[in-house]
Amino acid sequence: MAEITEVFNPEINRRQNLQRREAVYAGVKGRSVGEVGADVQKLVKETTLPPGFSFDVGGQLQQQDEAFTGLLAAMGLAVVFIDIVLASQFGSFVQPLAIMASLPLALALNDGGEIQAPMGRAIIGGVLTSSLLTLVVVPVLYSYLVRPLAGRRQPAPESTDSPSGGDELGTLARP
């Protein structure tokens, strides 16, 4: 598989954060990055290095971890903002949590979950989008559509004298 050769004088001294470093590059074939990353992390934990040496795992595994952290932060903020909007509608912070708890969170957190994940994401995206449309867009559009109609209704001027010489039975005035 591999031939390991010990080298005493490297041709190039690589540095990272003012420390000498050596990089080991590997490709993943036949397995997911997450599976290989878990094996690498296990190997790193089991290996005892001499003082002054350390491991720094990067590449796709690091990018995947950063993306997952960002996704969790975005979902947390979405839940907070949706709770705030719904709380203003319901007058309570607890009732919106009960509504949001009913979402099917099939986010591929277990074995075989990757099959259900796209459906779960589609449902969650639909619920979030419909909530945004229902609670924000529709009321704003409604207020813009109703405002011009309300401006056309002006009360008739009040008059005590009848221009027709007193033939009217009375006048109807708005308060």
Whether the CB-CB separation of 108 and 117 falls below 8 Å is answered with yes
Out of 48-57, 74-83, 102-111, 157-166, least confident range:
157-166
What per-residue confidence (pLDDT) applies to 1? Answer: 61
Average pLDDT over residues 46-61: 83
Q: Which two tokens stand for residue 37?
A: 């990353």
Q: How far is CA 82 from CA 51, 91, 164, in A?
A: 50, 13, 61
pLDDT band at 112 (very low <50, low <70, confident <90, very high): low
What per-residue confidence (pLDDT) applies to 84? Answer: 86
What per-residue confidence (pLDDT) applies to 87? Answer: 85
Q: How far is CA 19 from CA 6, 13, 54, 85, 122, in A?
A: 21, 10, 10, 50, 46
DSSP letters for 110-169: STTHHHHHHHHHHHHHHHHHHHHIIIIIHHHHHHHHHHHHHHH--PPPP-SS-TTSS--S
Going by C-alpha positions, the residue among 54, 67, 57 that lies closest to residue 25 is: 57
Q: What are phi and psi of 42, to 5 degrees?
A: -65, -45
Q: What are phi and psi of 20, to 5 degrees?
A: -65, 145
pLDDT tens-digit map of 150-167? 666 656 566 555 555 555
Average pLDDT over residues 78-86: 84
DSSP letters for 73-112: HHHHHHHHHHHHHHHHHHS-SHHHHHHHTTS----S-STT
